[in-house]
Chains A and B, each alone.
Chain A
Amino acid sequence: MLLQIKGLCKSFGSVVAADDLDVTVAPGEALGIIGPNGAGKTTLFNLIAGSLAPDRGEIRLNDRDITAASAHQRCKFGIGRSYQIPQPFESLTVFENLLVGAVHGRGLAERDAAAPCADILVHTGLIARADTPVRSLTLLERKRLEMARALATGPQLLLLDEIAGGLTEAECGALIETIRDVHAAGTAIVWIEHIVHALLAVVGRLIVLDFGRKVAEGVPRRVMASTEVRQIYIGIEA
């Protein structure tokens, strides 16, 4: 297994964000995670990427225990992460944003990092904006940059947090194509998304979280049809 999470627990005061969670991701897999707001989806990403330390449980990447590893070590081990609200380095150019990830995340010299970074910019449709300061980007471009920068660190596992949120239908379609390409190139993806049709266009397996617990898991079509999910989603829409 690429990622193996066992018995992961995290609470903030009385709020339980992860309750004895077990999650596995195979190399090259695409896993979707859905659930209502406050279900603990983003917390799970924070725990995997190392921005938060769990109360209990174990996280293994390629069979190495990374539970105590810092965020920058996990990046070097192969975990890349994008944020729901894009958080680029505002004072750097688009290209520099990627360069930082490639140099520090992959341990490349700047000279060797330039070509792969340019490739990623081509694939994510940002190459024309390479030398633009980040502050002048549109929302779609920022979302693409968020993914491009995570890719620059050379991840085996890419964590995408609501990357389709706030985009128009056409923009969303273009983004799905890009994510499919990334997945086809062999990168495993875990994708949190409220826009379910976008998610289902890519992922092969779905996990439903609620109150930090896994309430359903399996083939997307079957999971979406299950009573647990219907209850939760009717709850959301009401």
Chain B
Amino acid sequence: MTDHQKRSLLKVAALSALASATLIGCGKKEEPAPAPAPAPVAAPEPAKPEPLKVAFAYVGPVGDGGWTFAHDNGRKAVEKEFGDKVVTSFVENVPESADAERVIRDMAAQGNKVVFGTTFGYMESMLKVAADTPDVKFEHATGYKTAPNMRTYDSRTYEGAYMAGVIAGAMTKSNTLGVVGSIPIPEVIRNINSFTLGAQSVNPKIKTKVVWVGEWFNPPKETEAATSLINGGADILFQNTDSSAVLQTAGKLGKRAFGWDSDMSAYEPKAHLASSVINWGPYYVKAVGDALNGTWSTGGVWWGVKEGAIDIVSIAEDVPADIKTKIDTIKAGLKDGSFAIWKGPIKGQDGKDVLAKDVVADDAFMGGIKFYVKGVEGKVPGG
């Protein structure tokens, strides 16, 4: 073949490739483009209404065994409760960045009427999309900004942390407890404090050491952090990070630890003391129910043991019976309102009261906790 012929042949090949690509694009247009909203059914006989489309945006993988796994269980609860009245979908690994806006907007454009954003970092993106799509309801986890069609929800993880602390205080031999912290936001600091308060309620001698990973989910770093806590003398570990690495490290080094967000007992049965879990099911069912019944209204919700959103499960066999009874008593007290975790006197690290005797902290106080209580070592980072 001459050069000229070769060149022509290639031109033809390139053009045909381009042509086929265009044809594929045009050819498949017969498939109905996703409609912005299902057309309202107005048939003569009472036809079954279109299922409500509900979408979930997850920050991590469904398989993380922790935070996102718990949310996905909540989604499955919605499916179980409402059957064919709803159609759920999810997108995982949506980063807390500018990309989130595109994903959430796409969810709204795909006809979803309720969109759940399961991490703080989606707040601004959800607000923007909420402003543009007033007929879609937005549910934002752990945030604080709302809109007429966007509300927030959160869980009282500190109640689970407190109960874990009770177990830790009873089971520790070295009287040093370790916490692998994620990001020093009030929620996490409150959890560290609650864990410490719980332990102190059965063992006033304990002290808590904290190490910060700086991320929600980074198993190798969580491993290193856990190792350094154990090296520093801690024999029981607690975490606010999203994977089971801390528990596994404890198991490897012969110490005990807790599961967090989901039941992690299967990961390391010998080291596992208990798991503080979040049940998003009850809230998700209510939220979707609100949308189905037309009773949805904006606001903010903070649910705990009382509403069935928090629990401590799979308590290990060797935890003494009186501690197990104490846990049950605490749960009952939280359910009927007779027990409050954040009730004075509670002292800060300097020994002064942050809550006077018999004063019960309100949600506003608890939402802004930036200090450590007495018994926690070190300073809150980035004060």
Determine if chain A interacts with chain B. no
Give residues in A with beta carbon < 8 Å to B: none
Give residues in B with beta carbon < 8 Å to A: none
